[in-house]
Structure 1
């Protein structure tokens, strides 16, 4: 659920009911709102009130790579309604039909007469005493058509047959992202998912004994860091998805799921051993190589 309110100084305030799960999609929603209202997103005030049951109704969970689709759709709907209200208020003042007005940048003007117009600040001020009331919109969205998530990952690895150590030479990830609302953010999400997936594939493991975790800190629980991370080549395949804001679709989980399988297949192709239990540590690979002749 999203709400948009335009104050007397033409500052847009976005109130949302939903949680961010790592990618921080606020900027994407500001871009959506700015595109819908044809305004400048830089004037949109930062969301001062995140999800809060004191003012927001129940919302579905932020999961299943649906944050941008659900909150973005609500933001798009709210922005479209705000645009409609802006036109109504401006039309009364300019003595014109709403359909004859143009909203561009930070102004509303009569089509063909750019000098006959109002700033968004003036429209916001007029709305405070307008018969329809201040400009505000609250919209919600929770039902969407199912959209398949398609990813293809290719990795080149080098395996040291004497130690079982794996070196990643190149990683390429291609993904159908629908419409990339914020391409830089989308690429970062995919790159981050690949790096996290590499940790799952090669090093991350919770070790327990007698009900106690033996490696509870990052000194012993090995995650991939910037020193371990290879260059991840990302290819975005854009085809607008049904039911998403401007055709966007979820890209969170789909970009992490193929990683362990791609690594396991690459190791098998390199040294001929198939290991089906993660992580594929150097010890496991070395042991599998040593036992390989016995399996004939």
Structure 2
């Protein structure tokens, strides 16, 4: 499958381009970026064409991988889907529900396949753990703490990201926590509570359709020594703790590409398709609204 990359930032350099180059069933065609020099540099590093016209790249491929800020991703993903191109997207799908719905509508209009890259859903250890817990009945409550030090530590390549500074941890690491909790505890029936913590930290309480509740603590301003991700489930089966994964981002993105290829071949939507990305966006937008009302 011919695939092009939209985006040239740190995530495109660290994860997307290496994963696309290394994948045995993908023909990595080229890169488009918003700035000429980084586009050429990334394309040259992987021996592919640098495009200065995004529509030209879309015309030359069967699928696009997107490593761009959410608002730009949503616009270009909808454009690519309307052109009949399959989508390998990043989280969050979009910064607004309206934009996320437009992406889903475009995929449904043309019947293209989509996969949104929620990292934990494509790491072997965590993917297996999620599936095992989802098959277990009787969960009473869940707790997710996704704490990053992007803005409190030194040297993060994402510290200068304007959309992360604007949207904060809720939209950056919130999707990761939701991608683990929702398949296990059921969809979020409502955001029962939302409160601010120190820095950009937010605390959420969710009620799930399965009858359980969950709490989420999300931050990009945690002390570096306190950074990390924890998920704990408690129920009739006892206590289940989220495992660590040894898979790299490149490994996980390769598995996400596998999932997209499988969806294209079979016509069966992946669990992390654009529609799931829309649902995550709806929950985040609801939480954001409640946080705004709290101020």
Could you say which structure has the larger radius of gyration?
A: 1
Q: Does TM-score exceed 0.5, indicating one fold? A: no
Scaled to the shorter chain, the TM-score interval is: under 0.3
TM, length-normalised to structure 2 = 0.25
Specify which structure has the higher proportion of helix. 2
